[in-house]
Amino acid sequence: MASVIRREVAQANGYQRIALSYSTAVWDTVQLRSEAPQISITQTAAGGIIQFDRMALIKGASATASRSVLTFDATLNKLNFALATAHGLVANDKVMVTADATGTVPSELPLQLLFVVNPIDTGSERSIQLSLTSGGSAIDFSAGTLPIRVRYANGSLVGFETFSSTTTVADGGTQPITLNLNWGTGTSDVNAV
């Protein structure tokens, strides 16, 4: 998961994780595999192009790719978010902290899976602390440089596809993506994206 999040497209130009909801899969007794119904999605670029050359399917993850950090509180070791929108993170959620183009992550917050501790998500404060272990002590950190993001990293990797060339979605354009998911030992029409 850490490797997938590190390579995730920057949160810009309309990029977002897309939530999928499949109907129940069925077991193919001939191909000896579980087959999920085909599903189609689109990615729409807004404010600039979106480029990608791989796609990951993550089970049990949030459709929200990331939360932008509003301020650092190095005294209390908190990352603060805008009050207008709930951050939605709860204790022991797995996250990664990444920098946008001009930001720098505090050196004490390594580029690895971290765990949310002591989350506050009220109208008067929206903040989290981070730990190296589930339920562990908050990491003591110094201030970095905004903008940085807390990327939601719960879930498990189900499928990963690398394309032969980079797909570019022009500003204002949409890219349709069709997913055909099969798992098992059969050899005919086996694909996973």
**Amino acid, res. 170:** A
Q: What are 150's strand-pairing partners?
A: 67, 97
C-alpha distance from residue 16 to each of 31, 66, 76, 96, 166 (Å): 35, 9, 31, 16, 18
For residue 103, the Cα-to-chain-centroid distance in whole angstroms is: 19
**66-152 has which fold?**
Elongation Factor Tu (Ef-tu); domain 3 (2.40.30)
Q: What is the pLDDT along the chain (193 residues), one digit of tens a residue?
A: 888 888 888 778 888 888 888 778 888 888 787 877 778 888 899 999 999 988 888 888 776 678 899 999 999 999 999 999 999 999 999 999 998 878 999 999 988 999 999 999 999 999 999 999 999 999 999 888 999 999 988 888 877 788 888 989 999 999 988 877 776 666 555 554 3
Tell me where in the chain the CATH 2.40.30 domain(s) lie: 66-152
Is residue 174 within 8 Å of residue 50, measured between CB atoms?
no
Q: State yes or no: cis peptide before 119, omega within 30 of 0.
A: no
Q: Is 156 helix (H, G, I), strand (E, B) or coil?
A: strand
As a whole number of angstroms, the distance between CA 84 and CA 59 comes to: 28
